[in-house]
């Protein structure tokens, strides 16, 4: 059986090589004749895209009372992206790494988690906007009801999180009801978990996502998406391709959607096949699509991963976090910040139970 399977595999690969040789040879010729100026612009566009995502992270943390420089935020984006695209279960390691580093910058556990959640919502909304724009530009029929519901849902989720962050007392009654209900079912004392819940609300009150921070974060997310699309388009120009703009947008959105499924690190294989098929449908030849995808993946996958791991080796290799000490320190900072805000404007605070507030 081993010999039969080996022979069948050799025959299959030989047939595929003969069949695909014209496309592969044309792709190789496109790569050897690529325009190095467009290739440099492709790298610059990818760097700008990652800088845009760093801006989103920076503004959301600023809303939580954490001040961090743009370069420092970008270093975490590069490092977390390298983990995400190269490690098995990379998104899990990437998220944990970002969480721990934002804690190190001074974020409380709630603020660090809130930043990750809101940045994910914003990224999803801007990706959906890219896909819808491509579909409308190419002339596809998009149901107005579906479009309105999708946009309204994204904005409702974003502003719902913003409202909860600015008014933690709005969920206090619901949270206490759930805690008491769970304690009754589990036959635990009624006040079990109440103190921890109040502590979380106190940390959440330090988040003030004002209109300026919200719009700035959305603007940075737009920069991230536009520059990433530009990187794909410049990769096509590097090898002499010229896809239509609607097709390019659809190819980008489809590839990012496939990449979100954790089938392989960085969507290796699945993303490439999706890009080749959609770019070919967008007006490029199969050989140009293959060469363009190779260039795009070298820039957005290989180069970013190499830079990210260098950043980890230089800046974050020796980082160790004592979660217990961080909890105590961040909790003290959150309470001090909240106390200063109440002293500055005592009439603008929501009414709360004085016993729970003092506890």
> What is the value of pTM for the model shown?
0.69
Rounded-to-integer distance, Cα 2 and Cα 6, Å: 6
Give the H or E element holding residue 20. Answer: helix 2-32
pLDDT tens for 91-145 read 888 888 998 999 888 888 878 887 888 888 888 888 888 887 887 776 655 555 5
pLDDT tens for 247-276 read 899 899 888 888 877 666 777 778 888 888
Of 39-43, 126-130, 186-190, 275-279, the range with the lowest mean pLDDT is 186-190
- Per-domain boundaries in the chain: 35-166+206-321
Residues 6+ apart with CB under 8 A from 3: none
Burial per residue of 53-90, b for 16 or more beta-carbon CB atoms within 10 angstroms, e otherwise: bbbbbbbbbbbbbbebeeeebbbbbbbbbbbbbbeeeb
Rounded-to-integer distance, Cα 97 and Cα 323, Å: 13
Is the pLDDT at 26 greater than 70, yes or no? no
Rounded-to-integer distance, Cα 148 and Cα 166, Å: 26
Highest mean pLDDT among 44-53, 106-115, 217-226, 339-348: 44-53
Give me the phi and psi of 84, to 5 degrees please: -65, -40
Contact 327, 109 (CB under 8 A): yes
Contact 34, 238 (CB under 8 A): yes
CB atoms within 10 A of CB 216: 18
CA proximity to 282, closest of 317, 245, 255: 245
Token pair recorded at residue 165: 């962050």
- Radius of gyration of the chain, Cα coordinates, nearest whole angstrom: 25
């Amino acid at each position: 059986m081993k010999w039969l399977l080996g022979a069948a595999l050799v025959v299959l690969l030989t047939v595929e090589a003969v069949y695909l040789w014209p496309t592969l040879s044309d792709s190789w010729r496109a790569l050897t004749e690529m325009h190095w100026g467009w290739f440099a612009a492709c790298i610059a566009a990818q760097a700008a895209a990652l800088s845009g995502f760093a801006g989103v992270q920076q503004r959301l943390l600023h809303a939580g009372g954490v001040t961090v420089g743009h370069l420092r935020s970008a270093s975490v984006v590069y490092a977390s992206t390298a983990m995400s695209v190269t490690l098995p279960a990379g998104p899990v390691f990437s998220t944990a790494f970002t969480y721990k580093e934002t804690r190190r910058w001074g974020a409380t556990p709630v603020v660090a988690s809130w930043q990750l959640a809101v940045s994910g919502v914003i990224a999803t909304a801007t990706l959906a906007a890219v896909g819808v724009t491509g579909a409308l530009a190419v002339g596809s029929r998009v149901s107005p009801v579906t479009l309105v519901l999708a946009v309204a849902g994204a904005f409702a989720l974003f502003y719902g999180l913003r409202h909860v962050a600015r008014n933690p007392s709005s969920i206090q009654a619901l949270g206490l009801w759930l805690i008491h209900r769970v304690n009754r079912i589990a036959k635990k004392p009624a006040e079990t978990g109440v103190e921890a819940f109040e502590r979380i609300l106190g940390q959440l009150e330090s988040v003030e996502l004002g209109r300026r921070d919200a719009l700035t974060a959305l603007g940075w997310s737009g920069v991230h998406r536009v520059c990433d699309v530009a990187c794909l388009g410049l990769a096509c120009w590097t090898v002499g391709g010229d896809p239509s703009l609607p097709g390019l947008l659809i190819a980008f959105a489809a590839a990012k959607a496939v990449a979100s499924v954790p089938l392989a690190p960085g969507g290796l294989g699945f993303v490439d096949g999706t890009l080749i098929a959609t770019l070919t449908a967008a007006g490029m030849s199969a050989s140009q699509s293959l060469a363009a995808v190779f260039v795009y993946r070298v820039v957005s996958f290989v180069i970013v991963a190499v830079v990210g791991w260098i950043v980890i080796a230089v800046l974050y290799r020796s980082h160790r976090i004592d979660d217990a000490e961080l909890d105590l320190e961040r909790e003290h900072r959150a309470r001090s910040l909240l106390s200063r805000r109440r002293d500055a404007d005592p009439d603008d605070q929501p009414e709360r139970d004085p016993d729970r507030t003092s506890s």
